[in-house]
Amino acid sequence: MALRKEFVEWPMLLSLRFPQLRSLDERVVRLPHGSALQGIDPPISPGSLILLEEIPGIPEIESDTTKTGWSRRVYALRKGADLRCGYLDRNDNQYVLLAGAHGAGEAISVHQDELSQLSYIIGVAVPV
């Protein structure tokens, strides 16, 4: 009931898109404070619920780098209890998560052995 008050139409709309929502429980995460992703409209603000999808292999980002806003794929990096969102880019032989305003904020290095901690963000519910 608390989620219904906070997200107003969230349960109905998200259930339409994801009919088996309860089975996705472990993939729904609340974005902690300090982890907002500005630069897309509407922004993903702290307290938002995000639905994550596992990346099946090495991310293909070449076609994404020319896109902006919601047209560009948004990623989440989970390291323990820490969760960061942003765009994925490459810096030489290493992936970098560009977290912050317009993807130009903090650049977080993602080493080869950390790729399994990356997920696609495939759904967002922003509190009103």
Q: Which CATH number fits domain 2-125: 2.40.10, 2.10.109, 3.30.70, 2.60.40?
A: 2.10.109
Portion of the chain with pLDDT greater than 90, in percent: 9
The CA-CA-CA angle for residues 12, 78, 54, to 5°, reads 60
Distance in angstroms (rounded) separating the CA atoms of residues 95 and 105: 15
pLDDT for 21 beyond 70: no
pLDDT at position 49 is 84
Query: Could you read off the pLDDT of 54-79 as tens digits, one per residue?
Result: 998 888 887 777 787 778 889 999 88
Mean pLDDT of the region 104-121: 86
Any idea where the domains of the chain sit in the sequence? 2-125
pLDDT at position 2 is 57
- Compute CA distances 101 → 18, 41, 77, whole Å: 29, 11, 17
Structure tokens at 80: 């323990």
pLDDT for 53 beyond 70: yes
pTM of the model: 0.76
The one-letter amino acid at 87: Y
Pairing, β 75-79 against β 94-99:
unpaired
Tokens 């765009």 appear where? 87
